[in-house]
Structure 1
Amino acid sequence: MAFVILGVILLLLKYLEVDPVAAWSWLWVLSPFAGAAVWWAWADKSGYTQRKAMEAMDAKKEARRQRAMEATGQVDPRKRKR
């Protein structure tokens, strides 16, 4: 996401002719978008994206389980596992 944001900022600066970006080649201005494409391809091939999604799902399940146990009185909410 950072590559895309940087690319949009550089694109706007080039379009609005703000120095020093106005003097840069279009290759340099558009290169963050290529970086984003490479990052997304690597993240998908390596399993990074799926691993992060699974970690987020596991965290949500654990929070939901904790809330359910506290609601039923099975666990004292002031005591936490370490």
Structure 2
Amino acid sequence: MYLLGLSLILLAMKYFEVGPIANWPWWWIAVPFGLTAVWWTWADWSGYTKRKVMEKENAKKNARIQRDRDRLGLNIHRKKNK
């Protein structure tokens, strides 16, 4: 997402001719867009995106379970018998 933000900022700076970026060739502006596409392709192919979504969902689920246990007073720590 950071690469996409950088790409859009560079595009706006080139389009509105701001600073030294106005003198850069257009292909320099297109490079971050290409890197963004490569990153998203790799993230989807490798399962990185799905894994991050699952981690976030599990964290929310565990927080909800813990909150409900606290509200019900079931969060008593007991020693396990061995």
Count of residues in correspondence between the two structures:
77
CA displacement, residues 56-81 of structure 1 (integer Å, 9 cap, x when unaligned): 011011001001101111116xx8xx
TM-score (norm 2): 0.88
Unaligned runs of 5+ in 1: none
Q: CA deviation at 1:30?
A: 1.6
SS in 2 for 1:20: helix
SS in 2 for 1:75: coil
Please name the residue that 2:80 is paired with.
Answer: none
Q: CA deviation at 1:47?
A: 0.5
Given the alignment of the two structures, is residue 19 of structure 1 paired with residue 14 of structure 2, yes or no?
no
CA RMSD of aligned residues (A): 1.3
Structure 2 distance, partners of 1:50, 1:18, is: 38
CA displacement, residues 3-59 of structure 1 (integer Å, 9 cap, x when unaligned): 110011101111111221011010001211111100000000000001001100110
SS in 2 for 1:12: helix
Structure 2 distance, partners of 1:30, 1:12, is: 12
Please name the residue that 2:56 is paired with.
Answer: 56
The residue type paired with residue 45 of structure 2 is K
Identity of aligned residues (%): 51
Please name the residue that 1:68 is paired with.
Answer: 68
Structure 1 distance, partners of 2:26, 2:66, is: 53
